[in-house]
Amino acid sequence: MPSKTEQFLSLLDGQPVIPVLKIDRVADAVPLARALARGGLPAIEITLRTADALEAIRRVAAEVEEAIVGAGTILNARQFSEAEAAGSKFIVSPGVTRELIAAAANSKTPLLPGAITPGEIMMAREAGLDFLKFFPAEQAGGASFLKALASPFAGIRFCPTGGVTTRNARDYLALPNVVCVGGSWVAPDELVRPGDWAAIEQLAREAADLLKA
């Protein structure tokens, strides 16, 4: 039986960028997910930072067959359960806590917990978690910090998120301990508000090709 890390990586299927989305209008969720999937980024993270986030996850899970929707900014076990019930295929948290580790242990849904300090990384590793979110990436030391973690934490892989843009994404993706990056630049507010799904699809296509360049 594949581990939860292997399960998560199979969901990503080599996708280099996970769009990190804040849904202000629930009606945007389905066309946005479709545009991102058409552009080559089917795995998306809808953050629980707005009142409509869970409903957005429900709609994408039910209506966008080509999308792989996950929930982000999960802070406790209750939110983990709510996001899972809404249809989330993976769970992302900004940090790692014993409560979230326990919730993940009792669930088939993989957890991508945030960890930036050696202590947090060791805590996650002790719990059997070896694919971690590095957040906030740029503020915590960026690609050079992550590069320094590769040797003492061999086998631990990361998804840097926070301050990652088209300007620095390749710096992260070039590191041996980085699987993918998370970013909001593929769905900026100035394109989501007017519903410019074609422009978002093009940004997604460019992001999906980052590893090919």
- For the annotated catalytic residues, the residue numbers are 45, 133
The DSSP H or E segment spanning 135 is none
Q: Which two tokens stand for residue 149?
A: 């973690």
d(CA 98, CA 15): 29
Residue listed under structure tokens 């806590």:
97
d(CA 151, CA 174): 15
Helices marked H in the chain? 4-12, 29-38, 53-63, 77-86, 98-105, 118-126, 142-149, 169-173, 189-192, 197-208
